[in-house]
Amino acid sequence: MIPARIVSFMRDARFLTASLFALLALDAAAQTYPHKPIRIIVPYPPGGPSDMQARLVGIELTKAWGQTSVIDNRGGGSGIIGTELAARADADGHTLILMSATNAVQPALYPKLPYGLARDFAFITQITAGPGIVVVNPSLPIRSVSELIAYAKARPGKVLFGSAGNGAPSHLAVELLKVMAQIDVVHVPYKGMAPALTDVLGGQLQFSIPTIAGGLPLSRAGKLRALAVTGAKRSPAEPDLPTVAEAGVPGYQASNWYGMAAPAKTPRVLVVKLNQEFTRIMAVPELRDKLLNVGMEPTTTTPEQFTEYVKLEVVKWAKVVKSAGIKAD
């Protein structure tokens, strides 16, 4: 009969051997990764700020690793369709998703989501942060936030604003403005920010609060009129524009963020490798200049920091959704 201590030693030895082989396998996977095209799911239609950022990052990934980066736009369902697709994808590091603040709002709006952020995703890094920009149709007699508020107060329930979807940051930014400025404006949700801005351009809507990335180019082209930015401080992309707080709504602040994630069971070694690569990419001067020029500030975090940040965002926006009485479509 083999003594118990020897049996225990043999069991521990088998465990250590198995662990060593697993680590060697993971190291080998990291050395050969990526070995096929990398798909970046963008849960919104082409043309918006999410799409633009994914394409800029994808170009740099292709340059660095020699594998094609495929941008897979899956719009609809306020981002749920594309996010679920990413959650169910193979966890081999070759499918990523560009997440945004919208993902942190979803749990408050949709209690029965087909995925859980903490359960189904491995968060890699935040890549950008930035405020929104208040834009109006230039045919309107509105040149400041104060004038927009006065215009809305003179027409309760008749001024329309568009957003990227019910509960999207572009929606919540206006809901916050409604409460703080005490105005009654009507929400018109779209499947993405690009079609909403199209209708502001066409005059079907009076205003919107897209990201600076989505609204500033149209303002610079004279197609929309920019009134203010929604952050705590002015944007380096357009320093002459006041903040909403400066323009007549003290204490107002609403910003957006974007980040990269992968399916939850993606090996840790690949998450770390991706984090390191995205950290390098977001420091590329040409890329930083392009992002800063449209009001998005490049910023990176560790996987742990991004995971914690998303958790805090979920709690914060749940309070906003509840206080505003926002319901899912």
175-230 pLDDT, tens digit each = 989 989 999 999 999 988 899 999 999 999 999 999 888 899 999 999 999 999 99
Q: Say yes or no: 60 and 35 in one domain.
A: yes
Terminal CA-CA length for the chain: 68
pLDDT value at residue 255: 84
Region 87-100: mean pLDDT is 97
The answer as to whether 239 is a domain residue is: no
Selected residue with higher pLDDT from 23 and 27: 27
CA distance 115 to 87: 7
Give the CATH number for residue 142: 3.40.190.10
Same domain, 116 and 102: yes
Residue 34 lies in a domain: yes
Mean pLDDT estimate for the chain: 90
Q: How large is the average pLDDT for residues 142-164?
A: 97
Same domain, 56 and 82: yes
Helix (H) / strand (E) containing 314: helix 303-324
| pLDDT tops 50 at residue 24 | no
The SS3 call for residue 300 is coil
User: Residue 61 is part of which domain span?
Assistant: 30-130+256-324
Residue 15 belongs to some domain of the structure: no
Range of lowest pLDDT (36-40, 158-162, 169-173, 182-186): 169-173
Q: What are phi and psi of 226, to 5 degrees?
A: -85, 135
Judged against a pLDDT cut of 50, whether residue 248 lies above it is answered with yes
Report d(CA 23, CA 19) in Å as an integer. Answer: 6
In a domain, 24, yes or no: no
- 262 lies in some domain: yes
Checking if the pLDDT of 99 tops 80, the result is yes
Alpha carbon distance 41, 96 (integer Å): 6
Q: Is 321 helix (H, G, I), strand (E, B) or coil?
A: helix
- Residue 28 has a CB neighbour count (10 Å cut-off) of 11
The answer on 295 and 217 residing in a single domain is no
120 with 155, same domain: the answer is: no
Residue 243 lies in a domain: no
Q: Is residue 222 part of a domain?
A: yes
pLDDT of residue 53: 95
Q: Is the pLDDT of residue 9 over 80?
A: no
317 and 269, same domain (yes or no) = yes
Residue where a domain terminates, one of 229, 264, 292 = 229
The answer to which of 15-29, 197-211, 223-237, 245-259 has the lowest mean pLDDT is 15-29
- At a CB cut-off of 8 Å and minimum separation 6, what does 244 contact? 134, 145, 177, 228, 229, 230, 252, 253
Residue 237 lies in a domain: no
- The mean pLDDT value for 157-167 works out to 92
Do residues 149 and 210 both lie within one domain?
yes
Residue 161: phi and psi, rounded to 5, are -130, 150
Cα separation, 185 vs 150, in Å, equals 12
Asked if residue 118 and residue 78 are part of one domain, the reply reads yes
Nearest 5°: phi and psi at 240?
A: -80, -15
Tokens describing residue 187: 């929400």
Beta bridge pairs of residue 130: 256
Q: With contact defined as beta carbons under 8 Å apart, do 171 and 205 qualify?
A: no
pTM beyond 0.85: the answer is no
Are both 120 and 141 inside the same structural domain? Answer: no
Q: Which of 203-212, 251-260, 290-299 shows the lowest per-residue confidence on average (mean pLDDT)?
A: 290-299
35: CATH: 3.40.190.150
Is the pLDDT at 297 greater than 90? The verdict is no
Residues 57 and 106 in one domain: yes
* Confidence (pLDDT) at 151: 98
pLDDT in the model for residue 22: 45
Residues 123 and 137 grouped into a single domain: no
125 and 264 both lie in a single domain: yes
CA 297 to chain centre: 13
And the tokens for 46? 């082409």
**268 confidence band (pLDDT: 50, 70, 90):** very high
Largest CA distance in the chain: 94
pLDDT reading at 75 higher than 80 = yes
- Total of domains in the chain: 2
CB hemisphere CA count around 248 (13 angstroms): 13
d(CA 313, CA 307): 10
